[in-house]
Amino acid sequence: MPITAEAPSASRNTMSFVDREHKLLIDGQWVAAASGKTFEVKDPATGRTIARVAEGDKADVDRAVKAARRAFESGPWPALTASQRGRMIWKLADLLEQHLDEFAEIESLDNGKPRTIAAAADVPLAIDLFRYMAGWATKIEGNTIPISVGYMPGAEFHAYTLREPVGVVAQIIPWNFPLLMAAWKLGPALATGCTIVLKVAEETPLSAIRLGHLFKEAGFPDGVVNIITGFGETAGAALSGHPDVDKVAFTGSTEVGRLIVKAAGSSNLKKVTLELGGKSPNIILPDADIPAAIGGAANAIFFNHGQCCCAGSRLFVHRSQFDQVVNGVAEHARKIKVGHGLHPETGMGPLVSQIQQDRVCRFLDSGKREGAKALAGGQRREGDGYFVEPTVLIDTRPDMEVIREEIFGPVVAAVRYDEPEELIAAANDSVYGLAAAIWTRDLSKAHKLARRLRAGSVWVNCYNIFDAALPFGGYKQSGWGREMGHEAINLYTQTKAVTVQL
Ligand code: ADP
> In this structure, what CATH number is given to the domain that contains residue 45?
3.40.605.10
Total count of domains within the chain = 2
335 and 386 fall within a common domain: yes
Q: Mean pLDDT, 10 residues at a time, over the chain (502 residues)?
A: 65 94 97 98 96 98 98 97 98 98 98 98 98 98 98 98 98 98 98 98 98 96 98 98 98 97 98 98 98 98 98 98 98 97 96 98 98 97 95 98 98 95 96 98 97 98 98 98 98 98 98
Q: Is 236 in the pocket of ligand 1 (CB under 6 A)?
A: yes
Nearest ligand 1 atom to alpha carbon 263 = 24
C-beta separation of 287 from 443 below 8 A: no
The pLDDT of residue 7? 67
C-beta separation of 423 from 434 below 8 A: no
Q: Is 355 in the pocket of ligand 1 (CB under 6 A)?
A: no
Domain assignment present for residue 108? The answer is yes
Domain assignment present for residue 472? The answer is no
Q: Is 174 in the pocket of ligand 1 (CB under 6 A)?
A: yes
Nearest ligand 1 atom to alpha carbon 202 = 16
76 and 155 fall within a common domain: yes
230 and 288 fall within a common domain: no
335 and 433 fall within a common domain: yes
- Among left, alpha and beta (phi > 0; psi -120 to 50; other), residue 119 is alpha
308 and 185 fall within a common domain: no
Domain assignment present for residue 473? The answer is no
Indicate which residue's Cα is closest to atom 16 of ligand 1: 232
Task: Tell how far the Cα of 16 is from the centroid of ligand 1, in angstroms.
Answer: 29
User: In testing the pocket of ligand 1, which one of 177, 233, 256, 276 has its CB within 8 Å of the most ligand atoms?
Assistant: 256
492 and 463 fall within a common domain: no
Q: Known catalytic residue: 309?
A: yes
Task: Tell how far the Cα of 375 is from the centroid of ligand 1, in angstroms.
Answer: 33
DSSP per residue, 116-175: HHIIIIIHHHHHHHHHHHHHHGGG----EE----TTSTT--EEEEEEEEE--EEEEE--S
Q: What is the pTM of this model?
A: 0.97
Q: Known catalytic residue: 462?
A: no
The pLDDT of residue 420? 82
**Domain carrying residue 454:** 281-467
460 and 495 fall within a common domain: no
Task: Tell how far the Cα of 252 is from the centroid of ligand 1, in angstroms.
Answer: 6
Domain assignment present for residue 5? The answer is no
Nearest ligand 1 atom to alpha carbon 252 = 6
Nearest ligand 1 atom to alpha carbon 257 = 6
Domain assignment present for residue 6? The answer is no
C-beta separation of 180 from 472 below 8 A: no
Q: Is 242 in the pocket of ligand 1 (CB under 6 A)?
A: no
264 and 289 fall within a common domain: no
Domain assignment present for residue 7? The answer is no
Task: Tell how far the Cα of 203 is from the centroid of ligand 1, in angstroms.
Answer: 10
Q: Is 205 in the pocket of ligand 1 (CB under 6 A)?
A: no
The pLDDT of residue 6? 65
The pLDDT of residue 9? 87
Catalytic residue among 194, 309, 310, 361: 309
**Residue 102 exposure: Cα atoms within 13 Å on the Cβ side:** 19
Catalytic residue among 55, 107, 202, 275: 275
75 and 165 fall within a common domain: yes
User: In testing the pocket of ligand 1, which one of 39, 41, 58, 172 has its CB within 8 Å of the most ligand atoms?
Assistant: 172
Rounded Cα–Cα distance for residues 172 and 174 (Å): 7
Write the CATH number for 296.
3.40.309.10
Rounded Cα–Cα distance for residues 481 and 471 (Å): 9
Cα-based distances in Å from 14 to 130, 227, 271:
23, 20, 38
Domain assignment present for residue 241? The answer is yes
* H or E element in which residue 208 lies: helix 206-218
Query: What are the backbone angles phi and psi of residue 400, rounded to the nearest 5°?
Result: -70, 150
54 and 134 fall within a common domain: yes
Rounded Cα–Cα distance for residues 188 and 410 (Å): 31
Provide CB contacts within 8 A for 433, sequence distance 6+: 278, 454, 455, 456, 474, 475, 476, 477, 478
245 and 300 fall within a common domain: no
* H or E element in which residue 296 lies: helix 290-302
The distance of Cα 182 from the centroid of its chain, to the nearest Å, equals 8
Q: Is 235 in the pocket of ligand 1 (CB under 6 A)?
A: no
Strands (E), 298-442: 314-318, 373-376, 391-394, 411-417, 432-433, 435-439
Please, what's the b/e burial string for 232-260 (b: 16 or more CB within 10 A of its CB; e: otherwise)? bebbbbbbbbbeebbbbbbbbbbebbebb
Nearest ligand 1 atom to alpha carbon 173 = 14
The pLDDT of residue 421? 86
434 and 486 fall within a common domain: no
Rounded Cα–Cα distance for residues 364 and 379 (Å): 7
One-letter-per-residue 3-state SS of 327-363? HHHHHHHHHCCECCCCCCCCCECCCCCHHHHHHHHHH
Task: Tell how far the Cα of 256 is from the centroid of ligand 1, in angstroms.
Answer: 6
Domain assignment present for residue 445? The answer is yes
Indicate which residue's Cα is closest to atom 11 of ligand 1: 174
The pLDDT of residue 431? 98
Indicate which residue's Cα is closest to atom 23 of ligand 1: 233
Q: Is 253 in the pocket of ligand 1 (CB under 6 A)?
A: yes
